[in-house]
Amino acid sequence: MSKWGIEEKETIEAINNIGFSGNILNIAAGDGRFNNRLLELSDSVTAIDIDNSELKNLEENCPKYLLDKLYTKAVDITQKLPFQDETFDGVFCTGTLHLFDRDTIIKILQEIKRVLKTKGRIVLDFATDIKRLDKYQNQVVFEGEGNYTTDEAVSLFENQLKEFSLNIGVAAFMEENLEDDAGYNYISGNFLVISGKARGKEY
């Protein structure tokens, strides 16, 4: 199990329904939640994260029979991604985009679109209305986090991903008794599961 919690069934359904195949980019992959599932479906997964220690954990959590399809690289996703245009057949990102301000999210989405092949596929999630508590029941807020409402987030993705045939689902979540290095013990809120197929490069 990931220190960030379980694999939510809504995200699993989106992964299964979108038809991932080929070469997949897993953005902010962390310690590998969902990564092995992506490896099972694809020819290769490139997992990127700013934290090398997280990527090491991801590799350790990967079954040996999938390792030859896994590539990892330390990357700051707030900067230009170190990949050529139209490199990937699919892009996956979960548990991360909500941590950034609006301008940074838009920049990351532009990079996702740049490295995605024509008519490529995406699955993203985005937490909204977040409440975090530490083990002493003190509220935890990450510096610079927008803490978007559900309506704000839906509008953002609809506006920024107009080139995609989108499906946006909304679900509630709650997890507790998380590991100390997650930075909090309890989290609840809503999350969007955004999946889509690009109609073609028009940007």
Residues 51, 75 contacting (CB under 8 angstroms)? no
Residues 5, 175 contacting (CB under 8 angstroms)? yes
User: What is the mean pLDDT of the segment spanning 191-197?
Assistant: 96
Per-residue pLDDT for 144 more than 90? no
Q: What pLDDT score was predicted for residue 147?
A: 81
Each residue of 145-175: pLDDT tens digit? Answer: 778 999 999 999 999 999 999 999 999 988 8
Each residue of 11-62: pLDDT tens digit? Answer: 999 999 999 999 999 999 999 889 999 999 999 999 999 999 999 999 999 9
Could you tell me the pLDDT band of residue 177, with boundaries at 50, 70 and 90? confident
Highest-confidence range of 83-97, 141-155, 176-190, by mean pLDDT?
83-97
User: What is the mean pLDDT of the segment spanning 171-182?
Assistant: 84
Domain segments of the chain: what residues? Answer: 9-198
More confident residue, 110 or 134: 110
Could you tell me the pLDDT band of residue 176, with boundaries at 50, 70 and 90? confident
Q: What pLDDT score was predicted for residue 7?
A: 63
Could you count the other beta carbons within 10 Å of the beta carbon of residue 44?
A: 16
Q: What pLDDT score was predicted for residue 71?
A: 98
Strand order through the sheet with 88-93: 70-74, 44-49, 23-27, 88-93, 116-133, 186-198, 164-176
Half-sphere exposure of 63 (CA within 13 A, CB side): 8
Per-residue pLDDT for 201 more than 60? no
Q: What percent of the chain has pLDDT over 70?
A: 95
Distance in angstroms (rounded) separating the CA atoms of residues 149 and 66? 38
User: What is the mean pLDDT of the segment spanning 68-96?
Assistant: 97
Residues 90, 133 contacting (CB under 8 angstroms)? no
Enter the tokens of residue 95: 């548990």
Listed in sequence order, the DSSP H helices in 63-137 are 102-115
Say which CATH architecture domain 9-198 belongs to. 3-Layer(aba) Sandwich (3.40)
Between strands 116-133 and 186-198, the pairing is antiparallel
Could you tell me the pLDDT band of residue 203, with boundaries at 50, 70 and 90? very low
